Amino acid sequence: MSQELTPQTAENLQQRIHDLAGLMSRVAESLHQGDPVELQHLSDEINAVQHIVRTLSRQLEDHPLLADSERHVNRVGEIIESCKKINMRQEAIDQLKRLQLIKSFDQNDHEAFEQLQSRIAAVLHPLTNGSVEQRREAMESIMDRQSAFRALYEMVNRPEELSDDRWLEAQKIITETFGRNVAMAVIRGRAR
């Protein structure tokens, strides 16, 4: 049984463990009071949770968005953290892939957009192939509020949702990082 490795999957596992702990507590209390108890249900729940943990651990061992040192986890907290990392890294990759699609309709912008594509590739590579530290740094360079990649993504995908202050801030960040040609092409709608 293969499960999708998402933060929701990890949270569901955590909830299932919490429920199992509650069941175990109720069974222990019943046993303490001398009441008859059906232990098969408890045993089945323990086995189900152990199976989910083993399945998720095996999936994480082969996941391409985790560095080698992040792949061997079997504790619930580590599984949850790994699922969150995968989700965040996938979001960052999706944003970069969207930025790779940006093209300018003006020939004068051609060189600036080639440089932009090179910079995107330079961040994408360590995000998918780097060490834990390289992946962390790549994530920060993409997702941080002051990130030029994030500013560019916001300006291309949802400029109407930006506040006036964020719009001006994004324009400044894009201009300083990628140059005036990229900034003006995006702002004026020559690039999408």
Spell out the domain ranges in the chain. 7-83, 87-187
Q: Is 41 exposed, middle or buried (0-12, 13-18, 19+ CB in 10 A)?
A: exposed
Q: How many CB atoms lie within 10 A of CB 65?
A: 19
Mean of pLDDT values over 159-163: 91
Mean pLDDT of 151-171: 93
Residue 170 has pLDDT above 70, yes or no: yes
Evaluate if residue 163 carries a pLDDT over 80. Answer: yes
With pLDDT > 90 as the criterion, what percentage of the chain qualifies? 67
Tens digits of residue pLDDT in 36-80: 888 999 999 999 999 999 999 999 998 999 998 898 888 888 888
3 state SS of 159: helix
Note the pLDDT tens digit of each residue in 93-130.
999 999 999 988 888 899 999 999 999 999 999 999 99
